[in-house]
Chains A and B, each alone.
Chain A
Amino acid sequence: MKQSVFLGTLAATTLLAGAALAQGTSTLQTVKDRGELNCGVNTGLVGFAAPDASGNWQGFDVALCKAVAGAIFGDASKVVYIPTTSSDRFEQLTSGRIDLLIRNTTWTFSRDTDLKMDFVGVNYYDGQGFMVRNDLGVSSAKELNGATICIQTGTTTELNLADYFKANNMTYTAVPIETNAEGEQQYLAGACDAYTTDASGLAATRAAFADPENHVILPEIISKEPLGPAVRHGDSEWGDVVRWTMNALVAAEEFGITSANIDELATSSQNPEVQRLLGTSDNLGAMIGLEANWALNAIKAGGNYGEIFAATIGESTPIGLARGLNAQWTQGGLLYTPPFR
């Protein structure tokens, strides 16, 4: 009951706050005036967004929040991280509680249109997978007929699961859960045979177990889950800022700009696109209402896309994800940023 009261109030404030937002003031201006970026992240998924031992948020999604703050303020620390659950994240965004949602959120038709989100791109190309214990003796998702499966509610994965089992003529019992932490606990207690969510999320969840070696992620990937940052529908200027900050990180990797050589390249690079990106020539920043060195600051926040990937979820981390689809287009991946011109 508490929860519904809360959601009700949230819905009500959504509408009240929605007005303030709809009337004129742009999100970029609001953020600048506030001096801080309110970034909606997940409640705790190590590698993507979770507070570390000293309470600082770290991770792949967090790094993008930092880059956006870097682009706007020239200071990557000016972010307030707001944990959102799979069920309240969109409400948080439409209500104006957060400026930006970067929370393993899949870009879908209805979210983009009916839910009035705007997805500005994809920061991780993913798909849905299953995780089981080794001793269950299962090696394929097709063997899960009759299984009990833990599933986070309010997600795309919940709907994919239903479709997948029906398409394969199998049955299952769903154990609905609210947060990843709860799912982890239920799964470890054996209340479900399998845990399903985005494959990256499974890898991250498994890395946090005491005995990761006793769990396998099954080979089947049953859906497309392009995960990306979302902003409120109807404020294209703000969408541009986030979209191009993300593109800047990808372009930086493509051009070999790293946190180590960025200051040097900013002064010495002869590549015209690098010059435009780093603000040495032209002034792209002015076109999106930012300083000329916006991209430089964004990249300095945590390095280029590849550096962020390697530091947070890459193969040298406990999570150990390969680049796969998330490699540059020149490396056979899907990362392909439009030109900075």
Chain B
Amino acid sequence: MAVVTEEPKAGFRLGMLIYDTRYRSITIQIVVLMLVMLGAAWLIDNLLSNLAALGRGIDFGFLWNRAGYDINQTLVEYTNDSTHARATLVGLLNTLLIAFLGCIAATVVGVIAGVLRLSNNWVIARLMTVYVEIFRNIPLLLWILMIYTIFTEAFPAPNAFRGETPAASMVMFDTVAFTNRYTAIPWLMFDRSLGWLPLGPLWLNLDLTAIVAALVGGFLLNRYILRRATRIQEATGLRPTTWWQCMLALFGPIILVLLALGTHLDSPSLQGFNFTGGLQVSNSLVALWLALTLYTAAFIAEIVRAGINAISRGQSEAAFALGLRPGRTMNLIILPQALRVIIPPLISQYLNLTKNSSLAIAVGYMDLRGTLGGITLNQTGRGLEAMMLLMLIYLIVSLLISSAMNVYNNRVKLKER
């Protein structure tokens, strides 16, 4: 006799939303979501009605007004007649500059410190431990202020370089001057400068573009030569001599461009109150850069150490058994595998560094926080608008950095086939 399994009645009662475990979790999620949205709506409504009560709606029009203030470090054309939007751009570029310099230096220092911390040399390993612990455990702001204060107090004012018997003198064959405001260094000047190409809000510096193009071109050419050499080696077993071709590819284009631009080095000299000529690297930039670098590098060192430790000892033992020297073992066997572990946390360190650069305000480095979130905000009183814009820009920059790094991560990560 066949057992007729009665289909359960498909009726649906409201109570099931709470008592039936199939629906309960969904119910809870929907209720929570609605509460969150209600809360957000209440906050936003409150905000808007309060703004209205104060007589000021949200208005970004101030961005197109004249800024009226000067900025002490501008990577693009800017005067006090420019708009607040332009000042924001100047600040953003200063933020990107410090983030870029910081990430590169922090990676170099961090990798070296991380590898050395695993060194068999007791003294070196301990020294690195001390470095990591000191920098990781003292707030970054203190490091920035400390380095800045050292620069301000330890170096002489520019006018100490003046007179018959100056109290201070320039170093490196009279080309570099350390002062309590900036370091004046020689810098490239172009006799036959190409000038600027106006492209909307961003003017393109053609000299810089030409130099970058030459460098990238040289690099690509070099890569092509090496690949070709490898191909030939694989086909014939003989690797053609490449060193002079590589040299030519790497340095040829850039030398040609520099010659064409009529490049010469311009040395700083004291004129009036300050040095003119050359490049003045402000102490706030250097202090911020050093502090961000050393602080973040301490974390990166730990990440690198963890990454290397994650590779089983068998790998290095196998490499040694094959007769590879320790240096090559590290470069060819350990590091490439360790990178897979290292990259993801490294991304967040880059993001941290970029966001931490907003501490620049402490030493008067005019980054995004200093222009848009500082002077523009104060002078226009548009606190809410400026803060929202600031958060949006930092968000976009961070997302761009992490997506770029994720692309790289996908390339080095273990491909399971």
Residues of A within 8 A of B (CB): 1-4, 7-8, 10-12, 14-16, 18-19, 22-23, 86-87, 90-91, 94, 110-111, 114-116, 136, 144-148, 153-154, 158-159, 161-163, 165-166, 172-178, 186, 189-193, 233-234
Contact = CB atoms under 8 A, between A and B. Distances in A.
27 contacts: A1-B356, A4-B358, A4-B373, A4-B387, A8-B387, A11-B383, A87-B377, A91-B383, A114-B56, A116-B54, A136-B159, A145-B272, A146-B272, A146-B273, A146-B274, A147-B273, A147-B274, A148-B181, A153-B374, A158-B379, A174-B69, A176-B375, A190-B156, A190-B180, A191-B152, A191-B181, A192-B181
B53 A18 contact: yes
Nearest to A194: B273
B80 A163 contact: yes
A174 B70 contact: yes
Interface residues of B, number: 52
B68 A162 contact: yes
A197 to B, nearest CB: 15
B363 to A, nearest CB: 10
A22 B53 CA distance: 7
Contacts of A178: 361
B51 interface: yes
A197 B283 CA distance: 23
Interface stretch (B10-18, B205-213, B364-372): B364-372
B384 A154 contact: no
A262 B370 CA distance: 51
Contacts of A114: 56, 380-381
A15 B384 contact: yes
B273 A116 contact: no
Nearest to B51: A15
A154 B56 contact: no
Interface in B372-410: 373-375, 377-381, 383-384, 387, 390-391
A94 B153 contact: no
A13 to B, nearest CB: 11
Nearest to A175: B364
Given A15-B47, A189-B152, A190-B180, A115 B271 contact: no
Contact of B50 (A16, A86, A159): A16
B181 A19 contact: no
Contacts of B373: 4, 7
B369 A154 contact: no
A190 B157 CA distance: 6
Nearest to A9: B387
B400 to A, nearest CB: 19
A173 B369 CA distance: 19
Contacts of A175: 72, 181, 364
Contact of B72 (A154, A176, A233): A176
A154 B51 contact: no
A189 B179 CA distance: 11
A173 B56 CA distance: 35
B315 interface: no
B46 interface: yes
Contacts of B413: none
Nearest to B62: A114
B54 A22 contact: yes
A121 to B, nearest CB: 21
A3 B159 CA distance: 35
B366 A176 contact: yes
B355 interface: yes
Given A8-B387, A176-B370, A189-B152, 13 more contacts: A3-B361, A11-B387, A15-B46, A16-B50, A19-B46, A94-B54, A114-B381, A146-B271, A147-B272, A159-B69, A176-B366, A177-B364, A191-B180
Contacts of A173: 72, 181, 274
A109 to B, nearest CB: 12
A16 B46 contact: yes
Nearest to A158: B69
A186 B370 CA distance: 18
Contacts of A15: 46-47, 50-51, 54, 384
Contacts of B50: 15-16, 18-19, 22
A176 B71 CA distance: 9
B359 interface: yes
Contacts of A12: 47
Interface string B148-181: 0000110011010000000000000000000011
A176 to B, nearest CB: 5
A319 B56 CA distance: 41
Nearest to B382: A114
A193 B179 CA distance: 13
B201 to A, nearest CB: 21
Contacts of A18: 50, 53-54
B276 interface: yes
Contact of A116 (B46, B55, B355, B364): B55
A7 B72 contact: no
B245 interface: no
B237 to A, nearest CB: 58
B271 A162 contact: no
Contact of B390 (A4, A23, A153, A176): A4
A197 B130 CA distance: 45
Contacts of B380: 114
Tell which of B70, B79, B156, B379 has the most Cβ of chain A within 10 Å.
Answer: B70
B222 to A, nearest CB: 41
A90 B377 CA distance: 11
B27 interface: no
Closest 10 CB pairs of A and B: A154-B378, A190-B157, A22-B53, A115-B381, A162-B80, A146-B272, A15-B50, A11-B383, A147-B273, A19-B50
A3 B180 CA distance: 26
Contacts of B157: 190-191
B49 interface: yes
A189 B180 contact: yes
Tell which of A4, A144, A158, A162 has the most Cβ of chain B within 10 Å.
Answer: A4
A194 to B, nearest CB: 9
A88 B179 CA distance: 32
B387 A7 contact: yes
A165 B80 CA distance: 11
B29 to A, nearest CB: 28
Contacts of B53: 18-19, 22-23
